[in-house]
Each structure stands twice: as structure tokens, then as C-alpha cells.
């Protein structure tokens, strides 16, 4: 259990599969955060990943903050904030546009 947020220790995200060490898993977590930092402002959200807590800190442009556990929760919040569907494979995010 994380003493900062109260979440139990996360078993890892499916995107970390194949990361053999804790260092590799942490690197994958930071890389995911970099991608989210590029994608989510379009939906009115910002993310911060400090590596100290099991989740990822997400804030709205108005300053409301929450800690979300995984990408599913992040996409659900983005859809709620933006008022419409979010497609993480939108061509503008994966460099095809």
C-alpha cells in the first residue's frame, strides 16, 4: 500500500510485459507518461509521472487533480472531460497525419 495515495502496490501494466527488471518497468512507465503528455492536452488534461506512486497524476486545465491507476481510467477521464469519444490511435497522435 502506498502511504502517499492509499493505492495498493500495482502489479504492473500490460504495456510493461517483457520488461525484465524494475528499472525497465520504470522506464516504460516514464515513456508512457511522455506520450500522454503529448496526447492529453488536446482533451483538456495534463499528466505528471514522478515515479513515486503506483498511479499517474492527472489534472484538468482548471487545476483539479486526481491519481488514476491505468490507461483505461485515463481514457475514461479524457472522454468525460472532453465530452466525446477519445481515440488513442487517432492518426494525429501516432504520426500518420
Give whole-number Cα distances, 6 to 14, 17, 35, 68, 75, in Å: 22, 25, 26, 12, 22
Identify the pLDDT of residue 58: 92
Residues 34, 92: Cα–Cα separation, whole Å? 16
Residues 76, 2: Cα–Cα separation, whole Å? 23
pLDDT band of residue 7 (cuts 50, 70, 90) is: low
37-79 pLDDT per residue, tens: 888 888 889 998 877 777 889 999 888 899 988 888 988 998 9
Phi and psi angles of residue 68, each rounded to the nearest 5 degrees, phi first: -110, 150
Residue 3 has pLDDT above 90, yes or no: no
User: Which residues make Cβ contacts (< 8 Å) with residue 79, sequence separation at least 6?
Assistant: 43, 85, 86
pLDDT band of residue 2 (cuts 50, 70, 90) is: low
Going by their DSSP bridges, the two strands 56-60 and 45-48 should be labelled as antiparallel
Amino acid at each position: 500500500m502506498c502511504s502517499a495515495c492509499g493505492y495498493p502496490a500495482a502489479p504492473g501494466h500490460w504495456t510493461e510485459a517483457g520488461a525484465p527488471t524494475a528499472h525497465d518497468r520504470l522506464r516504460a512507465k516514464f515513456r508512457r507518461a511522455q506520450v500522454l503528455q503529448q496526447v492529453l492536452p488536446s482533451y483538456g488534461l495534463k499528466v505528471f509521472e514522478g515515479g513515486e506512486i503506483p498511479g499517474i497524476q492527472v489534472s484538468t486545465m482548471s487545476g483539479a487533480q486526481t491519481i488514476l491507476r491505468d490507461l483505461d481510467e485515463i481514457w475514461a477521464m479524457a472522454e468525460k472531460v472532453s465530452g466525446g469519444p477519445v481515440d488513442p490511435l487517432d492518426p494525429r497522435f501516432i504520426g500518420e497525419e
